[in-house]
Chain A
Amino acid sequence: MTTATDFDGDMAAREMQRGARERWFARINRSALYLNVIGLGWLVPLMKMAAGDNPRAQLKELWQQLVIPLIGIIAFIALWATFAPTVKTSLGAIPGPVAVWGETVNLYHDHVAEREKAAAFYDRQEARNAKLEASGKADSVKWRDYTGKPTYLDQIITSLKTVAVGFIIATIIAVPVGIFCGLSRSVSGALNPLIQIFKPVSPLAWLPIVTMIVSAVYADVSDALPKSLVISAVTVTLCSLWPTLINTSLGVASIDKDLMNVSRVLQLPTWKTITKLVLPSSLPLIFTGLRLSLGVGWMVLIAAEMLAQNPGLGKFVWDEFQNGSSSSLAKIIVAVLTIGIIGFLLDRLMYALQTAFTYSANR
């Protein structure tokens, strides 16, 4: 009897253990989805091994997901370090990874130094205003923003802000127009030639037109939204709205005809049809479009900033090219890597949003 109870107890314990493990795995599998989204998918096999899964299978997975990409990166850096010094430009050899890392650190120190200068500026301003107040001229006290140069980090933030504004405008235009194109063949027929013609236009060609029009229209400039930012952002809009527009109309047009017929039978009002039916079923494609748009927008932004000398990473690159100092090339390479990494992160961000908002298998 006791043995039976013991056995039962054993069973129960093992059962419980298995249950716990299964729950662990379920949790890991669920988080795997999110980890994949943010590019940390290689953590999954590690966690599974920690939870006691078969190490062999997981090691293979780890090899695929972590080691092979790492080999790629290391091989790239090795090739870069070997061949860069052999190319002699008029500004000296192309900087290798070490020089570029050194420049990254320099840029950060620059940033810190500039912040210190800003603090000194505010101190001086405070002293001046205190003096004014003491001498009874309180009405001429003024508080002004720091006037120094934007640092590299500031430039990154400016660029991100600009692309965000441009992308949001593009989305606001492209999604509704795309929906109408998808719903009505006549609208689509009317807009299609325009889309085909404007889609391939380069940002550099848009820029002069945009500059003139924005300068003419945007008269009351606010500090939060300087003209240069608007010009870059609108250029980004013009180049990046097409993928969203095309994908949205494609998504809407390919909705199951039966579904549309049901809505007709139920006599759903247009607004309801769009929000309850059209949008949910075309969301995956809309998101695909948005992801492409954001990628294009980020790429275009740098070109626009370079040409128009609008603040941001593009201006940074152009200024360094013009400076032609011995550290310029390394700084430009830092910018290139930054642009790449931020572009990648933006794409991941959109992917994460897509995962969060769509339920179809079409991820």
Chain B
Amino acid sequence: MRLAAGALALGLGSGLTASSALADMLDVEKDELKFGFIKLTDMAPLAIAYEKGYFEDEGLYVTIEAQANWKVLLDRVITGELDGAHMLAGQPLAATIGFGTKAHIITPFSMDLNGNGITVSNEVWEMMKPNIPVGDDGKLVHPIKADALKPVIAKFKSEGKPFNMGMVFPVSTHNYELRYWLASGGINPGYYSATDISGQIQADALLSVTPPPQMPATLEAGTIHGYCVGEPWNQQAVFKGIGVPVITDYEIWKNNPEKVFGITAEFAEKYPNTTLALTKALIRAAKWLDENDNANRMEAVEILSKSEYVGADPEVIANSMTGTFEYEKGDKREVPDFNVFYRYYATYPYYSDAVWYLSQMRRWGQIAEAKDDAWFKEAAAKVYRPDIYLKAARMLVDEGNAAEEDFPWDSDGYREPTSDFIDGIPYDGRKPNDYLTKLPIGLKGQQTIDGTSIVGG
């Protein structure tokens, strides 16, 4: 039956209506679904799965709705107003271990790799520029390290002014990436403690929450001096002439995991077929986005620029979605992997990715007490669900909608240890505590925050 359906699918191709899979469509328990997202280009798999009819192919009638900020989005998934959402990788993890809010959320699908950048205001950029080495071609040497920012912060401090930076959510990828970059340049981004969740204990740079689409406006208003956010809000700053992106997350950690698609564990349990069906649709969308060497990206840009999705001008979105990134105005460089949706097993929910986020939560005190390596492994396995993912992938391969070699069938969920970080510190997802001890700034071992100082360890 399945083989026949697969052959049929191959024969008919998959157009918009693509009812090829119809004969074998999953018997979904819930077919009217509402998904939330934040206006960022990395929500693309959702928009594509909708616009290209992949959801409909799976028998799902999906409504996609923009949310005001990450907190509203998470709360709505927890209360069931949304069936699922484009989420920060840290959100399901933090919710499941009970930091910020307590709810068991899982992810069967990782949405993309890379896609963020750090932008500073023009004023800060002018102060940073003299500290950045110039290459033989007369251009500034990239990646730009936080070392160049250090004297600027020192100057702010000596004048008694706070150095404020924006990130999008306390457990966001952006918070950890910004912290990673700052710390790699010897700048302390501050700690969280059980009693003080502002994350500014001992901080040189004061990080606070601003919703992604408001970043440029907040920077323009002078409330923050820089921010870390996903696209298109870094390129928007370039277009508006209000700030300069100094580094992309690809340069901080090559091919780092980004957003995930989150649903509650209860949803996955109650509607297993629906969960499989939506995972299938999302995998197909991701595949479409990277197909034929990003050939579909311009079409994706047109779709994303519609007001119901990201809504920014196509040229702003295209700047980063089509393999380039514009730093200082006019300094456009090739970054072919700026945003990856399918290559390098991008959609597979690796435990090691989850562990990295958990390690950063521990590093900055969001996880107040020391945890052993087994705890990290267990927490990751509670949230990241490669089992669901592979089941969906198997069905797609059988139907002829994906290739066998697109998926890491034999993976144990851990990527190979890597040292593709800006500071070159190697990371092995199996040994998070070992990794923590190697990071110069951050909690390690038995250390905890007491009041405003680090104790123990």
Out of A90, A127, A128, A131, name the residue touching B241 (CB < 8 Å): A90
Task: Tell me the nearest residue of chain B to A227, going by C-beta.
Answer: B81
- Stretch binding the partner chain, chosen from A161-169, A262-270, A319-327: A319-327
Given contacts A144-B32, A147-B63, are A131 and B22 in contact (CB under 8 A)? yes
Given contacts A90-B216, A309-B72, are A325 and B313 in contact (CB under 8 A)? yes
Number of residues of chain A lying within 8 A (CB) of chain B: 29
Out of A140, A147, A325, A326, name the residue touching B61 (CB < 8 Å): A147
A124:B56 contact, CB within 8 angstroms: yes
B216:A324 contact, CB within 8 angstroms: yes
Out of B241, B311, B313, name the residue touching A319 (CB < 8 Å): B311
A215:B79 contact, CB within 8 angstroms: yes
A128:B22 contact, CB within 8 angstroms: yes
Complex-state Cα separation, A324 to B312, whole angstroms: 6
B311:A322 contact, CB within 8 angstroms: yes
Out of A128, A149, A309, A328, name the residue touching B68 (CB < 8 Å): A309
Residues of A within 8 A of B50 (CB): 147
B19:A322 contact, CB within 8 angstroms: no
Task: Tell me the nearest residue of chain B to A123, going by C-beta.
Answer: B17
A318 within 8 A of partner (CB) = yes
A91 within 8 A of partner (CB) = yes
A142 within 8 A of partner (CB) = yes
A3 within 8 A of partner (CB) = no
A135 within 8 A of partner (CB) = yes
- Stretch binding the partner chain, chosen from B142-150, B302-310, B374-382: B302-310
Given contacts A91-B240, A147-B61, are A127 and B17 in contact (CB under 8 A)? yes
Residues of chain A from 75 to 115 with CB closer than 8 A to chain B in the complex: 90-91
Given contacts A127-B19, A142-B31, A144-B31, are A323 and B240 in contact (CB under 8 A)? no
B27 within 8 A of partner (CB) = yes
Out of A124, A135, A319, name the residue touching B17 (CB < 8 Å): A124
Residues of chain A from 106 to 140 with CB closer than 8 A to chain B in the complex: 124, 127-128, 131-132, 135, 140
- Tally the A-B contacts, defined by beta carbons under 8 Å: 72
Residues of A within 8 A of B213 (CB): 322-324
Residues of B within 8 A of A128 (CB): 17, 19, 22
B55 to chain A, nearest CB (A): 8
A219 to chain B, nearest CB (A): 11
Task: Tell me the nearest residue of chain B to A319, going by C-beta.
Answer: B66
B242 within 8 A of partner (CB) = yes
Residue among A127, A144, A145 with most chain B CB within 10 A: A144
B14 within 8 A of partner (CB) = no
Residues of chain A from 312 to 335 with CB closer than 8 A to chain B in the complex: 318-320, 322-326, 328, 331
Complex-state Cα separation, A295 to B303, whole angstroms: 38
B17:A144 contact, CB within 8 angstroms: no
Residues of chain A from 288 to 308 with CB closer than 8 A to chain B in the complex: 307-308
A323:B32 contact, CB within 8 angstroms: no
B373 to chain A, nearest CB (A): 39
Residues of A within 8 A of B31 (CB): 142, 144
A135:B23 contact, CB within 8 angstroms: yes
Residues of B within 8 A of A318 (CB): 68
Residues of chain A from 216 to 258 with CB closer than 8 A to chain B in the complex: 227
A185 to chain B, nearest CB (A): 45
Task: Tell me the nearest residue of chain A to B242, going by C-beta.
Answer: A90
Task: Tell me the nearest residue of chain A to B232, going by C-beta.
Answer: A324
Number of residues of chain B lying within 8 A (CB) of chain A: 38
Complex-state Cα separation, A318 to B69, whole angstroms: 12
Task: Tell me the nearest residue of chain B to A135, going by C-beta.
Answer: B23
A319:B307 contact, CB within 8 angstroms: yes
Residues of B within 8 A of A326 (CB): 313
Residues of B within 8 A of A319 (CB): 66, 307-308, 311
Given contacts A320-B311, A323-B312, A325-B312, are A147 and B62 in contact (CB under 8 A)? yes
A3 to chain B, nearest CB (A): 82
Out of A90, A127, A308, A322, name the residue touching B220 (CB < 8 Å): A90
Residues of A within 8 A of B32 (CB): 144-145
Complex-state Cα separation, A124 to B67, whole angstroms: 29
Residues of A within 8 A of B241 (CB): 90
Residues of B within 8 A of A132 (CB): 22
A325:B305 contact, CB within 8 angstroms: yes
Out of B19, B56, B307, B312, name the residue touching A131 (CB < 8 Å): B19
B39 within 8 A of partner (CB) = yes
Task: Tell me the nearest residue of chain A to B312, going by C-beta.
Answer: A325
Residues of chain B from 46 to 91 with CB closer than 8 A to chain A in the complex: 50, 53, 56, 61-63, 66-68, 72, 79, 81
Complex-state Cα separation, A131 to B22, whole angstroms: 9
Residue among B17, B53, B79, B305 with most chain A CB within 10 A: B17
Out of A124, A147, A149, A324, name the residue touching B236 (CB < 8 Å): A324
Given contacts A90-B240, A91-B240, A309-B72, are A323 and B17 in contact (CB under 8 A)? no
Residues of A within 8 A of B242 (CB): 90
Complex-state Cα separation, A215 to B63, whole angstroms: 21
B214 within 8 A of partner (CB) = yes
What 0/1 pattern do residues 294 to 328 of B give for CB contact below 8 A with A? Answer: 00000000000101101111001000000000000
A56 to chain B, nearest CB (A): 54
A14 to chain B, nearest CB (A): 67
Residues of B within 8 A of A325 (CB): 305, 307, 311-313, 316
Task: Tell me the nearest residue of chain A to B307, going by C-beta.
Answer: A323
B8 to chain A, nearest CB (A): 12
A272 to chain B, nearest CB (A): 48
Residues of A within 8 A of B310 (CB): 323
Given contacts A142-B31, A227-B81, are A322 and B214 in contact (CB under 8 A)? yes
Residues of B within 8 A of A320 (CB): 307, 311
Residue among A90, A132, A322, A326 with most chain B CB within 10 A: A322
Task: Tell me the nearest residue of chain A to B239, going by C-beta.
Answer: A90
What 0/1 pattern do residues 237 to 277 of B give for CB contact below 8 A with A? Answer: 00011100000000000000000000000000000000000
Out of A131, A140, A147, name the residue touching B27 (CB < 8 Å): A140
Task: Tell me the nearest residue of chain A to B213, going by C-beta.
Answer: A322
Complex-state Cα separation, A144 to B34, whole angstroms: 13
Complex-state Cα separation, A149 to B72, whole angstroms: 20
Complex-state Cα separation, A322 to B236, whole angstroms: 11
B311:A309 contact, CB within 8 angstroms: no
Complex-state Cα separation, A254 to B39, whole angstroms: 55
Complex-state Cα separation, A135 to B25, whole angstroms: 13
Residue among B31, B307, B312, B316 with most chain A CB within 10 A: B307
Complex-state Cα separation, A320 to B312, whole angstroms: 9
Task: Tell me the nearest residue of chain A to B316, going by C-beta.
Answer: A325
Task: Tell me the nearest residue of chain A to B34, going by C-beta.
Answer: A147
A149:B61 contact, CB within 8 angstroms: no
Listed from nearest, the 4 A-B pairs whose CB atoms lie closest are A323-B311, A322-B213, A149-B308, A90-B240
23 pairs, CB–CB < 8 Å, chain A vs chain B: A90-B220, A90-B241, A124-B16, A124-B17, A124-B53, A124-B56, A128-B17, A128-B22, A131-B19, A131-B22, A144-B61, A147-B63, A149-B308, A309-B72, A319-B66, A319-B311, A322-B214, A323-B307, A324-B312, A325-B311, A325-B313, A325-B316, A331-B307
Q: Tell me the A residues contacting B by CB distance below 8 Å.
A: 90-91, 124, 127-128, 131-132, 135, 140, 142, 144-145, 147, 149, 215, 227, 307-309, 318-320, 322-326, 328, 331
Query: Contacts A124-B16, A319-B66, A325-B305 given; 6 further ones with Cβ under 8 A?
Result: A135-B23, A144-B32, A145-B61, A147-B50, A309-B68, A324-B216
